[in-house]
Structure 1
């Protein structure tokens, strides 16, 4: 999931360089959403690992 967030971030940077504003906004929002989902999953797995282990 973190890989997808980085891919969308890269797409937004490339689109911003070439002046595609609409694509940039969508790609940035997708990257942010995927990054926060990744962080939430990481936190849940970290807590679960500490409780079980």
Structure 2
């Protein structure tokens, strides 16, 4: 289960990194919104992982 969660988190981080780079190239003002979305997704993933680990 830990491998499953770690794998999903790594994928999420890669997707965020790629999206962040694209946004920065287009408009720096959108970065804050993207970071909020990533933060929310990361929190959801952490809750999902904790729930499965118990």
Q: Show structure 2 runs of 5+ residues with no match.
A: 1-7
Highest RCO, 1 vs 2 (Cα 8 Å, sep ≥ 6):
2
Please identify runs of 4+ aligned residues in structure 1 that moved more than 3 A: 1-6
State TM-score, norm by structure 1.
0.60
The aligned length equals 46
Give the distance between the partners of 1:9 and 1:30, measured in 2 at CA.
12
Q: Show structure 1 runs of 5+ residues with no match.
A: 48-53
Larger radius of gyration: 1
State TM-score, norm by structure 2.
0.59
